[in-house]
């Protein structure tokens, strides 16, 4: 039986200009593997807690101390809780609260000559870790655009190597996905 592949669009909520990724992932992946896909496709470094919400049910890494009540993401396959047209959310870093809106745009038959997961397309660079969520990112963008911004020196310390907020290369994301997912 051929493998089923989900085409997912992940959009970072509350951020302008838009930041999104379109990826192909095996429908048999568990939510913990989808977490790794989101990390590498978006450009995060997996330094913080995360959770998924599918049909009002929260999934993530169970907290041994009982602080975060979630169903274990290791036990949930995508094709068991999602189908074409499904919408759900992924939140990364509960301090900065990076919420991602996800939609299953299509369910396809795997191309036997293709390796999955892969990133088809996207837009916008990933915000730096620890920048302060969508509001902090907007402040960073304002500081980068204005050499006289009062917080420019402080905020530009969060980015290195000539950060370009509009740059995204799906081929680089695909390389990371194939190496780490």
* Residue 68, pLDDT score: 73
Q: Which residues pair with 4 in a beta bridge?
A: 109
Q: Which residues pair with 157 in a beta bridge?
A: none
* Residue 136, pLDDT score: 94
Residue 8, Cβ neighbours under 10 Å: how many?
25
Residues 9-57: tens digit of each pLDDT:
999 999 999 999 999 999 999 999 999 999 999 999 999 999 999 999 9
Q: Which domains can be identified in the chain, with CATH numbers?
A: 4-126+166-180 (3.10.290.30)
Contact 61, 49 (CB under 8 A): yes
| Tokens 């930041």 sit on residue | 19
Residues 111-161: tens digit of each pLDDT:
999 999 999 999 999 999 989 999 999 999 999 999 999 998 888 887 877
């Amino acid at each position: 039986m051929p493998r089923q592949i989900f085409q997912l669009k992940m959009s970072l909520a509350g951020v302008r200009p838009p930041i999104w990724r379109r990826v192909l992932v095996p429908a048999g992946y568990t939510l913990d593997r989808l977490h790794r896909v989101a990390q590498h496709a978006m450009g995060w470094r997996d330094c913080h807690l995360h959770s998924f919400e599918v049909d009002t049910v929260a999934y993530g890494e169970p907290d041994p101390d009982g602080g975060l009540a979630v169903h274990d993401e290791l036990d949930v396959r995508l094709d068991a809780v999602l189908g074409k047209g499904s919408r759900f959310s992924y939140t990364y870093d509960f301090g900065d609260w990076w919420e991602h809106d996800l939609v299953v745009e299509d369910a396809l038959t795997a191309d036997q000559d293709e390796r999955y997961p892969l990133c088809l397309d996207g837009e916008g660079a990933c915000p730096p870790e620890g920048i302060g969520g969508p509001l902090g990112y907007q402040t960073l963008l304002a500081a980068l655009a204005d050499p006289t911004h009062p917080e420019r020196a402080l905020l530009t310390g969060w980015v290195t190597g000539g950060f370009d907020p509009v740059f995204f290369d799906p081929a680089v994301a695909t390389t990371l996905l194939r190496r780490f997912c």
